[in-house]
Amino acid sequence: MERVGSIEEVRQAVLAARREGKRIALVPTMGALHAGHLSLVDAACKRADYVVVSIFVNPTQFGPGEDFAAYPRDLERDFDLLRSEGADLVFTPSVDAMYAADAQVTVAPGPLGDVFEGEIRPGHFSGVCTVVAKLFGIVQPDLAFFGEKDFQQLAIVKRMVCDLDLPVRIVACPIVRVPDGLALSSRNVYLSAGERHAATVLYRALRTAETLALGGETDAALLAEAMRACIAEEPLATLDYAAVIDPATLRTLDVLAGPARALVAVRLGETRLIDNMPLSTGA
Ligand code: PAF
């Protein structure tokens, strides 16, 4: 496994792999890797011949007062994990390597970026789209792997690829959970023991909606309300939102009649957690 920090080194390594006829995959990450990230690398290794993993804590997707400085970083541990998982190249650029001091152009996510996470974290998805578009330009992968855990991010990246005609196929990978249902997230390390215990409320809320939907409930507002009621029972949790949406448009649904996704976002102390689950009707 090769470790590089400059855009030129990535281009050279990817060019050499391409000359050998290899199919190139990119797994963009911000490091602090856990089994969720490793499942993306594993999926990439199965679908491609040369797997690039980027580790870059992207400052432009953090708002003022968010956890950019405190975001967990452990590069040596990440390298060991990626080596064992079979990645070929790890790209760890500095902020200066990624963003020229006089850079001016950014990618606007459009209306999908204004709701849910975008409403609570203004500018977040512009930062995500810009860095992902740059990574696509640098690596020029055939395939790029994203987790369903950040469901809105995934929807926006798919939309960006479609609307900007970017020549990359987006592969969505399922959420990885620990046995009590908590979705893996690099931010779980911030939770105190009590908050970690309370954090299972996100999964419980989603499962409540899932069970009601499977039982034949098609009133999407009622499903969202059931999730809110579940979260309200957890004293350490403060609800940001609970919604039932169309997975492509992210619009809040009235009725469950086709593809649907339940979303929740909750604060536990200083930590915000998000989670989601597909919903299908009992029919
Ligand atoms: O999901 C993440 O870790 C980040 O948003 C991403 C896609 C690596 C862009 O910085």
CATH number, domain of 216, equals: 3.30.1300.10
Catalytic residue annotation: 37
Report the relative pairing of strands 260-268 and 271-279 from DSSP bridges: antiparallel
Q: What percent of the chain has pLDDT over 70?
A: 100
Provide the domain limits for residue 253.
186-276
Residue 161 lies in a domain: yes
One domain, residues 231 and 124: no
Q: Give the Cα separation of 154 and 140 in Å (integer).
A: 18
| Entry pTM | 0.97
- Number of domains within the chain: 2
Mean pLDDT by 10 residues, the chain (283 residues): 98 98 98 98 98 98 95 97 98 98 98 98 98 98 98 98 98 98 96 98 98 97 98 98 97 97 98 97 75
Query: Which pLDDT does position 133 carry in this prediction?
Result: 99
Q: How many angstroms is it from 37 CA to the middle of ligand 1?
A: 11
Domain contains 263: yes
Instruction: Say if 282 falls within a structural domain.
Output: no
25 and 117, same domain (yes or no): yes
One domain for residues 141 and 270:
no
Residues 15 and 91 in one domain: yes
* Centroid of ligand 1 to alpha carbon of 125 (angstroms): 10
How far is it, in rounded angstroms, from Cα 176 to Cα 37? 9
User: Per the domain annotation, does 283 fall within a domain?
Assistant: no
Residue 234 CA to residue 270 CA, distance in Å, equals 16
Residue 283 is predicted with a pLDDT of 67
Give the closest residue (by CA) to ligand 1 atom 8.
Answer: 29
Instruction: Give a yes or no: residue 181 inside a domain.
Output: no
Residue nearest to atom 7 of ligand 1 (CA): 28
Q: Are strands 237-245 and 169-173 parallel, antiparallel or unpaired?
A: unpaired
Please identify, among 109, 144, 173, the residue that sits at the C-terminal boundary of a domain: 173
* pLDDT score, position 277: 98
C-alpha pair distances (Å), 2 with each of 13, 23, 83, 91, 92: 9, 17, 9, 9, 11
The Cα–Cα gap between 133 and 124 comes to 14
Contact 136, 152 (CB under 8 A): no
Q: Are residues 195 and 138 in the same domain?
A: no
In this structure, are 193 and 161 located in the same domain? no
CA–CA dist 88, 49 (Å, integer): 9
Does residue 218 share a domain with residue 91? no
Q: Are residues 147 and 203 in the same domain?
A: no
Are residues 152 and 262 located together in one domain of the fold?
no
> Is residue 252 in some structural domain?
yes
Does a structural domain hold residue 264? Answer: yes
Cβ atoms of 59 and 68 closer than 8 Å = yes
Which residue type sits at 171? V
131 lines ligand 1 (CB under 6 A): yes
Same domain? For 202 and 141 the reply is no
Q: Is 210 in the pocket of ligand 1 (CB under 6 A)?
A: no
Report the CATH number that the domain containing residue 55 is assigned in CATH.
3.40.50.620
Say how far apart CA 75 and CA 96 lie, in whole Å.
18
**Do 59 and 111 fall into the same domain?**
yes
Q: How far is the CA of 149 from the centre of ligand 1 (A)?
A: 11
Q: Is residue 105 part of a domain?
A: yes
With a 6 Å cutoff on the Cβ, whether 150 touches ligand 1 is: yes
